[in-house]
Amino acid sequence: MSNDRPSIKLSGTSHRLHYSDLPWNELTGFRVQTPSGTWPAGQNMNAAQKVQETALVAFDEAGRAILDATSNNDLTPEAKQRLAQQAADSYFQKLDPKVKALADSMASLAEGAPRMLSATQELKSTDTVGELRDQELRNIIRTAGQKERQSLVVAMSANKQPEMTRAVLRAPAVASALTTDAVESLRHAGIAAGYPDTLRSLRNMLMARDDVIRTAIAGADSLRQLHPGASQMAAQTRGVEER
């Protein structure tokens, strides 16, 4: 099966490292307007771009160094082995700090999403009318029969009762006689309804993260074919999938 993605090729060999031509300007520049202010979510993708760039450069440098060492007839077998191993090790050594920075950035993205993407905006402390209206809406749910309450929850989950949903989310679950799980489900539904484009962009960021990690692993695997001593380095690189 052909691979139409761009690649870099080690001169004189069939070894290539394929990568994706990702829209980095779009990914890193992505910003979201939320009730809490502007969230520059895309900044977290700078680390992913660095992983891809480093993998490509380090693969080319390490690959050429391995080929130079193993083809140099002036070196002893021991010297060839030592220099080739150093070149293979350098790939992981250059990538490791970039991958760790990416893991930190993804953790920041995961922490920021639920905090910044609020399903509702809190009322101002002076909005007495709004608070009374919220209480009235919560009381409707609290005093409803079980079947009617379930119908209301279904309607709120489908974004058919946005005002009532906001009232529920602005108070503890007990104020509406709902379970904590039910309120959390409404919160997630509210975020999905309020930020569809943002959630799509966040999914694209996660896909880009996975893509650059696959590129890094593919580079390690290709170097392993050039020099068996790179096998440990390839295993180390695979470890980033668990971070």
* Residue-by-residue pLDDT tens, the chain, 243 positions: 456 789 999 888 888 999 999 999 999 999 998 877 899 999 999 999 999 999 999 999 999 999 999 889 999 999 998 999 899 899 999 999 999 999 999 999 999 888 888 877 777 888 899 999 999 999 999 999 989 999 999 998 888 888 898 899 889 999 999 999 999 999 888 888 888 899 999 999 999 999 999 999 999 988 888 876 555 544 555 554 544
- Contact between 238 and 217 under an 8 Å Cβ cutoff? The reply is yes
**Token pair of 180, please?**
């904590």
In a 10 Å sphere around its CB, with 0-12 CB exposed, 13-18 middle and 19+ buried, how is residue 153 labelled? Answer: buried
Cα(7)–Cα(179) distance, rounded to whole angstroms?
Answer: 53
Tally helices (H) and strands (E) across the chain.
9, 4
| Cα–Cα separations (whole angstroms), residue 38 to 30, 35, 53, 119, 236 | 10, 8, 28, 15, 37
Cα(82)–Cα(75) distance, rounded to whole angstroms?
Answer: 10
- Contact between 177 and 169 under an 8 Å Cβ cutoff? The reply is no
Interaxial angle between packed helices 77-116 and 46-71, expressed in degrees from 0 to 180 and rounded to the nearest 10: 170
Torsion angle (degrees, nearest 10) of CA 164, 167, 173, 175: -100
